[in-house]
Amino acid sequence: MSKAFTKEVDHGDDDELPDVRVPGGGKNYMTPAGYARLRGELMHLIDEERPRVVETVAWAASNGDRSENGDYLYGKKRLREIDRRIRFLTKRLERAEVVDPSVHHGKDQVFFGATVTYARRDGSEVTVTIVGIDEADSIHGHISWISPVAQALLKAREGDEVRLQTPGGVETLEILEVRYPAPAAADAG
């Protein structure tokens, strides 16, 4: 029989969504807020989204012919997507190493979680916050700790100049300010 008439089943490596590898298979560093966001998404999928879709699929299946039942077909596809995302989030959270950047509050050296303002050669100033891989959001200035810019900045201090290799050549960045969030207020006992 020709392959053209066989049903293909999607058995790709579902757990490898847009997965950014952690260098050296090490820890997946995350801020407490990033961890809470991913865990919240996981709990929402498990407690709300998946049961709702399962209910829809069960209802659609009870309507008879599944081969032309759009609710059933879409529901099954959506369940695969949800299950794939649940596996992905579970793996990321299992490997997470939560690092509280507030422990460096008041220091002028760049570590994970720092918000750094630096000057570029053209005189422009850029402010970035170094966060986990799963928290990176360039629109809001959150860059992954494995990004080239973060790697250039890490361990430098205010006033230092660091070299960043770019496609256009080496660029020198001057670190103007390093900030960390203030520690959370201690519980009054």
Query: Which CATH number covers residue 63?
Result: 1.10.287.180
Shared domain check, 142 and 89: no
Which of 98, 121, 138 is the last residue in one of the domains? 98
Give CA–CA dist 121/125, Å, rounded: 9
Q: What is the tally of structural domains in the chain?
A: 2
Shared domain check, 154 and 87: no
Q: What is the pLDDT of residue 5?
A: 43
The answer to the question of residue 8 being in a domain is no
Q: What is the pLDDT of residue 61?
A: 85
Per-residue pLDDT of the chain (189 residues; tens, 9 = 90+): 444 444 444 444 444 445 556 665 677 899 999 999 999 999 999 999 999 999 988 988 888 777 777 888 899 999 999 999 999 999 999 999 999 999 999 999 999 999 999 999 899 999 999 999 999 999 999 999 999 999 999 999 999 999 999 998 999 999 999 999 998 875 544
The answer to the question of residue 125 being in a domain is yes
Instruction: Count the residues in the chain.
Output: 189
The answer to the question of residue 3 being in a domain is no
The answer to the question of residue 10 being in a domain is no
Shared domain check, 91 and 105: no
The answer to the question of residue 14 being in a domain is no
| Strand, helix or coil for residue 69 | coil
Which of 39, 64, 98 is the last residue in one of the domains? 98
Q: What is the pLDDT of residue 15?
A: 44
Q: What is the DSSP letter of 115?
A: E
The CATH number given to whatever domain includes residue 129 is 3.10.50.30
The secondary structure of the chain in percent helix, strand, coil, rounded to multiples of 5, reads: 40, 20, 40
Q: What is the pLDDT of residue 20?
A: 58
The answer to the question of residue 7 being in a domain is no
The answer to the question of residue 13 being in a domain is no
Q: State the amino acid at position 186 in one-letter form.
A: A
> Which range marks the domain in which residue 56 is found?
21-98
Distances (CA, A) of 46 to 39, 42, 78, 87: 11, 6, 13, 11
Which residue is associated with the tokens 């002028």?
Answer: 108
> What is the model's pTM?
0.77
Q: What is the pLDDT of residue 22?
A: 63
Q: What is the DSSP letter of 136?
A: -
Distances (CA, A) of 143 to 15, 36, 107, 134, 150: 24, 18, 20, 10, 7
Shared domain check, 107 and 74: no
Shared domain check, 148 and 83: no
Which of 60, 83, 98 is the last residue in one of the domains? 98
Q: Return the half-sphere exposure (C-beta side, CA atoms, 13 A cut-off) of residue 141.
A: 11
| Strand, helix or coil for residue 129 | strand
Q: What is the pLDDT of residue 184?
A: 80
Q: Return the half-sphere exposure (C-beta side, CA atoms, 13 A cut-off) of residue 17.
A: 14
Shared domain check, 32 and 75: yes
The answer to the question of residue 171 being in a domain is yes
Q: What is the pLDDT of residue 70?
A: 82
Shared domain check, 140 and 123: yes
Q: What is the pLDDT of residue 2?
A: 46
- Under a CB-based contact definition with an 8 Å cutoff, are residues 86 and 45 in contact? yes
Tokens of 95: 């490997």
Residues 6+ apart with CB under 8 A from 110: 116, 130, 153, 154, 155, 156, 157, 175, 178
Shared domain check, 107 and 94: no
